[in-house]
Chains A and B, each alone.
Chain A
């Protein structure tokens, strides 16, 4: 579904992605681990062209996302993106955050959009907060609304950029629970995270990035319990 082929990117003189190659298959949950600055967030941002690349290719369903004739807005509707800082629209209620895309992009009627949004809010356990503005929600609730907002667009794949890193510890679990359910229902997911436990339990594949390269990849049991690289070994010992 998503293929990275020798992807390279520089920020000025600094190379953040140094030839990343890998594939995310339909229905697969891939977790990206790595210390900060390893390029994992940048990598998933290249899928929807939030970051441009200087070398290689990013393919979504076989099509180069940077190719001519690619309608990037259409592509983005098919790829849900969840940010570390939630990025809810503060002037809209939880419901309004979700209906905006349904009404304006999917051209749904108000009532239908509302109904769909309520279904999504219910799915993340926040039906009772539909009319609350983001400022009235806790961090964990905000992130769950952000997930519902992305899911409402019926994406083929969901990308998560450190979805729990900005949360207080007691709120991490409510977000992970939603993500776990999503994975169990067969959603294709790419998750940048520091939650080793989540990776071990939910991921089909773990990629460990270091200095802009995937240095180790495989099933969590293999990568996490039997790390071959020193960098991964020290990363895991620090994370525990």
Chain B
């Protein structure tokens, strides 16, 4: 008896709903974690460039932890460990507000920030020191020179590595299934165990993941082309 490949079987009724919800959750998790990662990444970059050795080491420690501990372990630490350290009231609130989504977002965002700050730093280093000098000469302080002159240029240079980080982040959201976040992979497993249509379920997931990945890449190269052409 041959196996009949029938994707339509998993794209009906509640199964279709599960896929849609899974995809929406994956996208929401990606966007939220990306925004968190970018924000923390930029802050870390500014902090590590301040002339204090101790801060530099602190950021270096942050980067090494997040790059060298498996992401799954980081997610589990956030989900099972961190809430216990919180005051009771906050813990209750977190637990009643989709804590798994929130904590997965934090874990993914903080891990991304470690990579993003590394990319940003190398971007900043590639901006000639004379740009900083010119900004300071107009009367800008360190933070102003960074945010109006150096970072806008560095960001353009680091668009390609940032696209890479975004893709990694997007794919890594699947790890959030380990703490029960109902994202795409989690939902796919569900569809699989209800229908036993394993190939169909994962084929649908694969296509959806690929589609979003391509969309991210297209968006990235659009931004890259628009911004880069203008500079040099």
Contacts and interface: CB of A to CB of B under 8 A. Distances in A.
Contacts of B231: 90-91, 133, 135
Interface of B is mostly: helix
B232 A50 contact: no
Given A87-B133, A89-B149, A105 B232 contact: no
Given A50-B133, A87-B131, A104-B148, A73 B139 contact: yes
B218 to A, nearest CB: 23
A81 B153 CA distance: 22
Given A104-B148, A133-B230, A135-B231, A83 B134 contact: yes
Nearest to A48: B137
B144 interface: yes
A105 B139 contact: yes
Contacts of B68: none
B136 interface: yes
B135 to A, nearest CB: 8
A9 interface: no
A176 interface: no
B96 interface: no
A100 B137 CA distance: 13
Interface residue tally on B, bucketed by range: 20 to 34
Given A76-B138, A90-B153, A90-B231, A83 B148 contact: no
A90 B141 CA distance: 19
A89 B231 CA distance: 9
Given A87-B131, A91-B231, A76 B137 contact: yes
Interface in A79-105: 81, 83, 85, 87-91, 100-101, 104-105
B152 interface: yes
Contacts of B148: 100, 104
B153 A149 contact: no
Contacts of B144: 104-105
Contacts of A73: 136, 139-141
Contacts of B230: 91, 133
A49 B232 CA distance: 30
Interface string A162-179: 000000000000000000
A91 B155 CA distance: 11
A153 interface: yes
A91 B156 contact: yes
A83 B130 contact: yes
A74 interface: yes
B133 A101 contact: no
Given A133-B230, A135-B231, A87 B130 contact: yes
Given A100-B148, A104-B148, A89 B131 contact: yes
B136 A87 contact: no
B138 A153 contact: yes
Contacts of A150: 138
A77 interface: yes
Given A83-B134, A83-B137, A105-B139, 6 more contacts: A48-B137, A76-B139, A81-B137, A104-B140, A104-B148, A105-B140
7 contacts: A48-B137, A77-B138, A83-B133, A83-B137, A90-B153, A133-B231, A149-B138
